[in-house]
Amino acid sequence: MKTRWMFGLALMVAALSAALTGCVAVVAGAAGAGAVAWVQGRLDANLNADFERSAKAADLAIRDLQWSKISEKKDALEDTLIARTAGDRKVEIKVLKVTEETSKAEIRVGVFGDEALSLTILDKIKAHL
């Protein structure tokens, strides 16, 4: 009886651990430029544009969506934009320099992420590149 209970507990802990580790799924593309991945509530995308153009495109995407830009922190390698939607959801967009010709965007909506809205933001960014 005790063995059966321990086995059930171990199975439940394993299932819970798998559920809490987060999902890593490739949405489109492969590794390298143009790759997009959904990682633990965050959309990661490689962009075929230099850092400055990508940072400007992220800023323009926020304007296109008519969101309130709360803050921006930028240096030579990273630009972090925080915005709020009309529904007061927090949106964080990070643009990172990868090479002289490429950059990476990391997009998170809210605490747990919103894949559909993140893809919409990415489309807006790409439209300005």
Q: Is residue 41 domain-resident?
A: yes
Q: Is residue 83 domain-resident?
A: yes
- From residue 103, alpha-carbon distances to 94, 98, 110 in Å are 10, 5, 23
Q: Is residue 47 domain-resident?
A: yes
Q: What CATH number corresponds to the domain at position 122?
A: 3.30.310.80
What whole-number distance in Å separates Cα of residue 73 and Cα of residue 112? 22
Domain that holds residue 33: 24-127
Q: What is the pTM of this model?
A: 0.74
Number of domains observed in the structure of the chain: 1
pLDDT per residue as tens digits for the range 42-97: 999 999 999 999 999 999 999 999 999 999 999 999 999 999 999 999 999 999 99
E strands, the chain, where? 24-28, 36-39, 42-47, 68-74, 78-84, 90-97, 103-109
Q: Is residue 104 domain-resident?
A: yes
Q: Is residue 73 domain-resident?
A: yes
pLDDT > 70 in the chain, percent = 74
